[in-house]
């Protein structure tokens, strides 16, 4: 157990990776967006921005990095694969939860200040902002975990089977997606598909994402168990 | 003091490792005892790193059984925590500095000695605050050496630890190794192809070639176990008749024959009377001869520099 | 390097200590460097150095004081000199007299020759054997 905590502590030795860089991305995304809003005159309507997502994409990169760089190092530190896995995912979950709460709080501030005084929408996105606090936080959290897991899982595949593995996975993903599209087209299911997407709520999307994350978490653990540094 | 009770710490039974088109380990059987410095010798690609990876559960064997401290090392934090293995091509997180790598090591190795690590940073003149990915090959090796030594792990593996280190830095490593080992006896496995440099440090020699163990012997019993006889070809032939010949060279009417035998005082005197010269065979030469004899690449004539092949490519 | 490849290192370490006892560098009842000091100095495996030292302990030339270290035993020098004289006899004198007999040199002539040779090179007692 102690070693699991140490795996997390090890990744915090360099404060920049998990704390500094996300903070900078968060701050600069806000400032740049705000500057654009200030410069570009709006027609009086609400202004949207997807800039808040940028931190989430950074976690995709983090997922890849922790597998390609931190895993080989953890092996040199005589850490078992299981311990590395639990420690890394645990640390990530804590950081993701903290950022989710921060997003929620920023969303509250955004609403209270009338969109930062310029009627902007950066955090309190219309579709989500009316939901209960827990749903909002859960949504952010699971979105970040999903991105991290995608990065982590792809990197495990790469670690274990190199370029061949990546190629096979990409082809498999493409085949499945194309198959679904073909199926929908052939069966004339597009109206139903569209209706299904429209019917989704933040909570149901989060639910699907949780299933997806759980599948990736199992998949990457099983792949990691036989990966070599 | 060393050389006291030495229970078995590693046992390897019928271990093989297959890659797609090659056999990296071929039915390896080994027993390592505690408190000794082992030399794991062999050519590049002989299977040294593969063997150490399997012993530390960083890699996987295709078949066979490995026990470390009596347990399977795979996924056992209890066993792994007593082992340290820094690879020759060890990867570090991109943004780490040596100082941060040492800090990480201090969390995972119970015996970690920070003061010792600090002293070695100075001796190796390692820029501890520079990012590891900006270090030279030699400085990178120094990071591995420092982690390996300062971890004081009960079993420490050094995988060609001297790559890129200059002669002075290598000497610092050997000196610190001997000194620290004397004060804190433990099991050291030193993989190397610079045999001459490490020969005197070793208590036990394991020679691996093409995944097979060729020699597994006490270093002292190997020392002086072969001799090179030089002189007129006919006399040399007569003197070495019926002995196990490791290497034969001829030059004009002279012959130089290395035999796998420890000569008695009487035999030495006899050689002297015949006017033959006896030259000692270094551990490195012996290892080269045995490797070549096993592969069947030698026993030819006139290859004066063949022993350079094992090592001098670096 | 002070260690050569022809013989086991522990034998060489033992011989070095013996030489120091014979030529007085290590006086009787004085302390011998620890095996770790030998290991560091000659850059050899500590276990090998220990083996060399314990060989001399077995022969009664060194003894161990608990918790302090190794010391040269009383009478060690005399014992070594005796052994080396015996070796000298077997290694040099016997072949010498054998060869002298072949050449018809009488023992008087041989003694005379030795006297002549001795005035040229003076060797201190006991330092003949290597």
In chain A, the number of structural domains is 1
Backbone angles phi, psi at A226, to 5 degrees: -115, 15
Which pLDDT value is given to residue B6?
Answer: 63
Return the structure tokens found at B306: 């063949």
Q: How confident is the model at residue B298 (pLDDT cuts 50, 70, 90)?
A: very low
Q: Is the confidence at residue C1, as pLDDT, over 50? A: no
Contact between residue B100 and residue B130 where contact means Cβ atoms under 8 Å apart = no
Using a CB-CB cut-off of 8 Å, the residues of chain A touching B83 are 78
Whether pLDDT at B310 is above 50:
no
Facing residue for A73 by CB, picked from B59, B76, B91: B91
Mutate to test the interface with B, among C5, C40, C64, C66 (most CBs of B within 10 A): C5
Instruction: Note the pLDDT tens digit of each residue in B196-220.
Output: 889 999 999 999 999 999 999 999 8
pLDDT of residue A108 exceeding 70:
yes
Kindly identify which residue of chain B lies nearest to residue A72, measuring between CA atoms.
Answer: B91
Name the strand (E) or helix (H) holding B39. strand B37-41
Judge: B94–A65 Cβ closer than 8 Å, yes or no.
yes
Q: Write out chain B residues lying below 8 Å of C9, CB-based.
A: 200, 220, 223
pLDDT for residue B5: 52
Residue A46, classed as helix, strand or coil, is: coil
Q: How confident is the model over A2-25, as a mean pLDDT? A: 90
Q: Where are the domains of chain C?
A: 9-74, 81-119
Taking any CB pair shorter than 8 Å as contact, residues of chain A touching chain B are 3, 6, 9-11, 13-14, 16-17, 65, 68-70, 72-73, 75-83, 225-226, 228-229
Q: Which of A127, A161, A102, A159 is nearest to A46 (CA)?
A: A127
pLDDT for res B297: 58
To which H or E segment does residue B239 belong? helix B233-240
pLDDT tens-digit map of B162-201: 899 999 999 999 999 999 999 999 999 999 988 888 999 9
At C3 the pLDDT is 82
With a cut of 60, say whether residue B3 has pLDDT above it: no
Contacts for B261-270 with beta carbons within 8 Å, 24 or more apart?
B261/B225, B261/B226, B261/B227, B262/B224, B262/B225, B262/B226, B262/B227, B263/B227, B270/B239
B36 touches chain C (CB under 8 A): yes
C52 φ, ψ to 5°?
-60, -45
A84 located within any domain: yes
The closest alpha carbon to B118, from B97, B136, B98, B94, belongs to B98
Choosing among B171, B203, B220, which should be mutated to test the C contact, i.e. which has the most C CBs within 10 A? B220
Neighbours of chain A (3+ CB pairs under 8 A): B
Parallel, antiparallel, or unpaired for β B83-86 and B155-159? parallel
Most confident segment among A40-54, B54-68, B214-228: B54-68
Instruction: Decide if A58 is inside a domain.
Output: yes
Domains of chain B: 8-222 (3.40.50.300), 227-311 (no CATH)
Please list, in sequence order, all residues whose beta carbon lies within 8 angstroms of the beta carbon of residue A111, skipping any fewer than 6 positions away: A124, A129
Nearest CA in chain B to A16: B95
Query: Is A52 domain-assigned?
Result: yes
Q: What is the pLDDT of residue B133?
A: 92
Instruction: Please report whether residue A229 resides in a domain.
Output: no
Question: What's the mean pLDDT in A175-187?
Answer: 91
Q: Which pLDDT score is estimated for A214?
A: 93
Our CA-based measurement puts residue B217 at a distance from the nearest CA of chain C, in whole angstroms, of 13
* Chains C and B make contact, 3+ CB pairs within 8 Å: yes
What's the token pair of residue A141?
Answer: 């959290």
pLDDT recorded at residue B311 = 40
> Could you report how far apart the first and last alpha carbons of chain C are, in Å?
18
**What pLDDT is recorded for position B112?**
98
Query: What phi and psi, each to the nearest 5 degrees, are found at residue C29?
Result: 70, 10
Q: Does domain C9-74 have CATH number 1.10.3720.10?
A: no
CA–CA separation, C102 vs B135, rounded Å? 73
| Domain housing A50 | 2-224
pLDDT of residue B312: 39
C-alpha to C-alpha distance for A167 and A161, rounded to whole angstroms:
10
How many CA atoms within 13 Å lie on the side-chain side of B25? 26
Write down which chains contact chain B via at least 3 CB pairs under 8 A. Answer: A, C
Give residue C121's pLDDT: 56
The answer on pLDDT for B100 being more than 90 is: yes
Strand partners, B196: none
At residue B236, the pLDDT reads 93
Residues B204 and B190: beta-carbon distance below 8 Å: no
More reliable by pLDDT, B51 or A195: B51
B90 closest CA partner among B78, B79, B104, B76: B104
Q: Is residue B309's pLDDT more than 60?
A: no
Chain B CB contacts of C36 under 8 Å are 1, 179, 182-183
Answer whether residue C130 shows pLDDT above 80: no
Q: What confidence category does residue A48 fall into, taking pLDDT thresholds of 50, 70 and 90? A: confident
State yes or no: pLDDT of A201 exceeds 60. Answer: yes
**What pTM did the predictor assign?**
0.85
> What is the tens place of the pLDDT at every residue in C63-81?
999 989 999 999 999 999 9
What is the arithmetic mean of pLDDT over B30-45? Answer: 94
Q: Rounded to the nearest 5 degrees, what angle is found at the Cα of B166, between the Cα atoms of B164 and B171?
A: 120
pLDDT digits (tens, 9 = 90+) for A112-170: 888 887 778 888 777 787 888 899 999 999 999 999 999 999 999 988 888 888 899 89
Whether B200 sits inside 8 A of C50 (CB atoms) is: no
Work out the minimum CA distance from A93 to partner chain B, whole angstroms.
20
DSSP output for A155-168? HHHHHHHHHHHHHH
- In C2-127, alpha helices (H): 9-22, 35-42, 46-58, 76-88, 94-102, 107-120
Indicate if the pLDDT at residue C18 is higher than 90: yes
Spatial CB neighbours of B311, under 8 Å, sequence gap ≥ 6 = B193, B194, B195, B284, B288
Answer yes or no: is A155 within a domain: yes
Report yes or no: B52 at the A interface, CB cutoff 8 Å: no
User: Mean pLDDT score of chain C, rounded to an integer?
Assistant: 87
Which residue from A6, A70, A76 is facing B87, i.e. has the nearest CB? Answer: A76
- Averaged pLDDT score across all residues of chain B: 89
Q: Which of B75, B107, B153 sits opposite A80 (nearest CB)?
A: B75
| Burial tier of C80 (Cβ tally within 10 Å: 0-12, 13-18, 19+) | buried
Residue of B175, B183, B202 lying closest to C45 (CB–CB): B202
Helix ranges (H only) for chain A are 2-11, 15, 21-39, 54-65, 71-76, 81-112, 126-129, 133-187, 190-199, 202-224
| B281 part of contact set with chain C, CB < 8 Å | yes
The Cα A7–Cα A90 span in angstroms is 9
């Amino acid at each position: 157990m102690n070693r699991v905590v140490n795996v997390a502590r090890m990744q915090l030795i360099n404060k920049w990776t998990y704390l500094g860089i996300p903070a900078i991305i968060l701050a600069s995304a806000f400032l740049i967006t705000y500057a654009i809003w200030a410069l570009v005159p709006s027609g009086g309507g609400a202004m949207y921005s997807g800039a808040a997502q940028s931190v989430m994409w950074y976690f995709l990169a983090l997922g890849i990095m922790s597998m390609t760089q931190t895993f080989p190092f953890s092996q040199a530190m005589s850490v078992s694969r299981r311990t590395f896995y639990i420690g890394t995912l645990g640390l990530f979950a804590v950081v993701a939860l903290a950022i989710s709460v921060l997003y929620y709080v920023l969303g509250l501030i955004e609403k209270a200040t009338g969109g930062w005084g310029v009627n902007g929408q950066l955090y309190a996105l219309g579709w989500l902002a009316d939901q209960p606090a827990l749903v909002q936080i859960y949504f952010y959290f699971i979105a970040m975990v999903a991105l991290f897991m995608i990065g982590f899982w792809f990197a495990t595949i790469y670690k274990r089977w190199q370029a061949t593995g990546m190629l096979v996975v990409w082809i498999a993903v493409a085949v499945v997606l194309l198959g679904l599209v073909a199926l929908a087209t052939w069966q004339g299911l597009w109206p139903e598909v569209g209706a299904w997407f429209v019917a989704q709520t933040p909570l149901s999307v989060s639910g699907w994402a949780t299933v997806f994350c759980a599948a990736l978490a199992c998949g990457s653990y099983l792949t990691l168990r036989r990966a070599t540094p | 003091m060393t050389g006291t009770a030495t229970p078995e710490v590693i046992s390897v039974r019928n271990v093989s490792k297959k890659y797609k088109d090659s056999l990296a380990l071929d039915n390896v059987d080994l027993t390592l005892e505690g408190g000794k410095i082992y030399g794991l010798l062999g050519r590049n690609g002989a299977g040294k790193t593969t063997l150490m990876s399997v012993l530390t559960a960083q890699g996987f064997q295709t078949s066979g059984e490995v026990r470390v401290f009596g347990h399977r090392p795979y996924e056992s934090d209890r066993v792994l925590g007593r082992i340290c293995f820094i690879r020759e091509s060890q990867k570090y997180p991109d943004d780490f500095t040596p100082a941060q790598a040492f800090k990480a090591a201090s969390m995972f190795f119970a015996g970690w000695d920070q003061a010792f690590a600090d002293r070695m940073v100075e001796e190796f003149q390692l820029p501890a605050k520079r990012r590891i990915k900006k270090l030279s090959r030699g400085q990178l090796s120094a990071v591995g050496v420092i982690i390996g030594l300062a971890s004081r792990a009960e079993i420490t593996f050094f995988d060609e630890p001297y790559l890129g280190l200059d002669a002075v830095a290598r000497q610092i490593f050997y000196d610190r190794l001997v000194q620290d080992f004397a004060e804190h006896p433990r099991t050291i496995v030193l993989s190397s192809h610079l045999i001459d440099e490490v020969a005197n440090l070793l208590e036990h020699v394991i020679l691996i070639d093409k995944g097979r163990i060729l020699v597994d012997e006490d270093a002292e019993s190997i020392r002086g176990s072969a001799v090179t006889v030089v002189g007129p070809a006919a006399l040399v032939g007569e003197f070495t008749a019926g002995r196990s010949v490791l290497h034969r060279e001829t030059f004009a009417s002279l012959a130089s024959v290395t035999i796998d035998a420890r000569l008695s005082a009487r035999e030495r005197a006899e050689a002297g009377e015949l006017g033959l010269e006896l030259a000692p065979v270094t551990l490195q030469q012996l290892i080269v001869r045995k490797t070549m004899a096993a592969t069947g690449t030698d026993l030819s004539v006139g290859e004066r520099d063949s022993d350079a092949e094992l090592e001098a490519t670096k | 390097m002070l260690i050569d490849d022809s013989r086991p290192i522990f034998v060489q370490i033992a011989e070095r200590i013996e030489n120091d006892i014979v030529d007085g560098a290590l006086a009787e009842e004085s302390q011998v460097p620890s095996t770790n000091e030998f290991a560091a100095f000659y850059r050899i495996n500590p276990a090998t150095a220990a083996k060399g030292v314990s060989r001399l302990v077995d022969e009664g030339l060194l003894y161990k004081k608990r918790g302090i270290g190794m010391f040269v035993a009383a009478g060690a020098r005399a014992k070594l000199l005796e052994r080396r004289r015996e070796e000298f006899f077997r290694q040099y004198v016997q072949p010498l007299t054998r060869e002298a007999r072949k050449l018809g040199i009488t023992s008087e002539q041989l003694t005379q020759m030795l006297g002549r040779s001795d005035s040229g090179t003076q060797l201190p007692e006991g330092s003949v054997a290597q």
